[in-house]
Amino acid sequence: MPVSIRDALNSPRDRQWIQAQYPAYLEDLSQTSMNTGIFPATGEVQTELMARWFADDSSYPLIILKNEQPAGFALVSRPPRNRRDLIDFRMAEFFIAARSRRLGIGRDAAQLIFNRFAGSWEITEFVHNKTAVSFWRAILLEYTGGKYKERVMHGEVHQTFVSTNRQRPR
């Protein structure tokens, strides 16, 4: 069965799954942040953050499915109105559960997301998160045929590109 994505906005079950996985996501980020304390969102902060994801009309929380079972989540967001002339969408969060990694699920999900939200995109990774930087470079090279821009500033890698809603060959 193929990978699919589902809008989690109106599903209490999907929201609960994301909330249950969020600590593992933060743990992954803390492992790659060189213990700088950049990703300390726990408890109350995490609850408030989740509430914003599901209340903000510029956020699109998604569940990533493999064989109709949750395998990860993504949060696509629209930038502030004053930046929308440059970027339509931003990959705010992207997580594949450990048991579902290295199976192509993340690659397939990213392509589905880019196709669903056609427009100009920005993806940002912490420069020390070598796994994420490598992942997104490989995804974007395949998806865009190398037609993306990358810059490093303020400790982050920023990739920008344009997606369409047409299917891409693998």
- The pLDDT tens digits of the residues spanning 115-156 come to 999 999 999 998 988 999 999 999 999 999 999 999 999 999
> Sorting pLDDT into bands at 50, 70 and 90, what band is 169?
very low
Per-residue pLDDT for 84 more than 50? yes
- Distance between CA 100 and CA 66 in Å, rounded? 9
pLDDT for position 140 = 97
What is the overall mean pLDDT for the chain?
Answer: 84
- Distance between CA 94 and CA 8 in Å, rounded? 14
In terms of residues, how long is the chain?
A: 170
Per-residue pLDDT for 43 more than 70? no
SS (H, E, C) 97-133: CHHHCCCCHHHHHHHHHHHHCCEEEEEEEECCCHHHH
The dihedral sign for the CA sequence 96, 6, 89, 113: positive
- Return the CATH architecture of domain 3-163: 3-Layer(aba) Sandwich (3.40)
Name the pTM for this structure: 0.84
C-alpha to C-alpha distances, 63 to 28, 76, 143, 152, nearest whole angstrom: 18, 11, 21, 29
